Amino acid sequence: MATPLVVFENVVKRFDEFVAVKRMNFEIREGEFLAFMGPSGCGKTTTLRMLAGLEQPTEGDIRLAGKSLLGVKPHERDTPMVWQSLALFPFLNARENVEFGLKMRGQDSTTRRKKAQDWLERLGIGEFAERDVNSLSGGQRQRVALARALVTEPKILLLDEPLSALDAHLVIRMQGVLTKLQRELGITFVYVTHSQSEAFAMADRVVIMSKGEISQIGSSRDIYRTPANRFVAEFVGRNNIFTGTVNATGAINTPAGSFEVDTKAEAGANVSFVVAADVVSLAVEKPKVRNVFTAQLISEEFVGSMVTLFLEAAGGMEVKLQIQERALEGLPREPGQQFFLSFDPAHAHVLKG
């Protein structure tokens, strides 16, 4: 697990004046499922394309299994990719699409045919082997694309927003297919997405990128609970960010109230901290705990058995609160209703910078 399969060393990518990737250093471990996530234009796709050899780094070095990839043509690398547009060859049927990589490696037609068929079976679309790829459904085409990339038994698979064109229910199904495959094959998956739910659901580690830089690398849990900076905290979305100044007693004065959090900042310093939406408690009567503040209910949103409440605290600050729908039974829930909110100081995470 610990051996780095890919190393990015001081990698910079510039397109004319535009800096797509700013001095990037990181490692991809062998056998891990790594997801790159960030808003469009953050450099995540460029990073993936550099790994595939479709872009050359302006500076720095990329090593795969210890060997530098500088100057290695895309077709000389073994870094198959699943494309956002799938990029299936429309003039070939499903099986011929899967055979393509094997054909390029000079394998004979009998072997090719068998391997391709095996992979299509494995992904549950064996019966469509002879079908025109244009006549297949989105999910089936997706599986053809996967089989085409995996048939050559690579050590690493690159995936560029492969699920973004699918319907919501298919996305969940394909997430299952992908995680299962990755575990069974034990190979490294490098997955680029702008979808937090995809990244958090599948990846062992998530890389959050912003403006060509890595903001944070860590497990989904780390990123959710302890965002490295304001950008990550905001990008992850289900966070409440409080900003204020440290007062004489060491508590932080914010527009929403004064809170005790674990910070070494001195009195007078500006501090931001994050409280995740699911660690905020709610009550109608004022509870006898620390860090209590009041807020009015604005609206609510159902996500399955969970409900997200949107409230407004003093100073116009919006507070998000995620809670089991059952826990709200019997509570008044009209908009404008005042609640007492609170959080444990241990659950507040102070942001750097």
Partner 1 sequence: MRDDTVLRWSLRVYTAVIFVFIFAPIAASLVFSFNSDRFPSIPLGTFTTQWYAKAFSNPEVWDAALRSVIVSVSSAVLATIIGFSAAYTDYRYEFFGKKAFLVLALLPPTIPLIIFALATLGWLSMFQASGMMISVIIAHTVLCAPFAMAVIRLRLNQMDPNLEPAAWNLGASEWVTMKSVVLPFTRPSIAAALCLTAAVSFDEFAVAWFVSGLNKTVPVMILEILTGNIDPQINAIGTAVFMVSITLVVIAQVLIMGRRPKPESA
Q: Contact residues for partner 1 (CB under 8 A)?
A: 52-54, 73-75, 79-81, 83-85, 87, 89-92, 100-101, 104-105, 134-138, 148-149, 152, 165-167
Rank residues 121 and 132 by Cβ distance to partner 1 and give the closer one. Answer: 132
Q: Kindly tell me which of 132 and 301 has the beta carbon lying closer to partner 1.
A: 132
Q: Which two tokens stand for residue 311?
A: 């409230």
Task: Please report how close the Cβ of residue 284 comes to partner 1 at its closest, in angstroms.
Answer: 46
| Cα Rg of the chain (Å, integer) | 24
Minimum distance between the CB of residue 170 and partner 1, rounded to whole angstroms?
8
* Closer residue to partner 1 in complex, CB, 136/319: 136
- The answer to whether 45 touches 96, Cβ cutoff 8 Å, is no
Shortest Cβ distance from residue 62 to partner 1 (Å)?
Answer: 16
Three-class HEC string of 253-283: EECCEEECCCCCCCCCCEEEEEEEHHHCEEE
State the minimum distance, in angstroms, from the CB of residue 157 to partner 1.
11
Those residues whose C-beta lies under 8 Å from the C-beta of residue 81, and which sit 6 or more positions away, are 48, 52, 149, 157, 158, 159, 160
Yes or no: say if 96 and 144 are a contact pair by the CB < 8 Å rule.
no
Q: Which is nearer to partner 1, 100 or 340 (CB)?
A: 100
Contact 323, 278 (CB under 8 A): yes
Minimum CB separation of residue 6 from partner 1 in Å reads 16
Please report, in angstroms and rounded to a whole number, the separation of the first and last CA atoms in the chain: 32
Nearer to partner 1, 117 or 164 (CB): 164
Token pair of 247, please? Answer: 């007062």
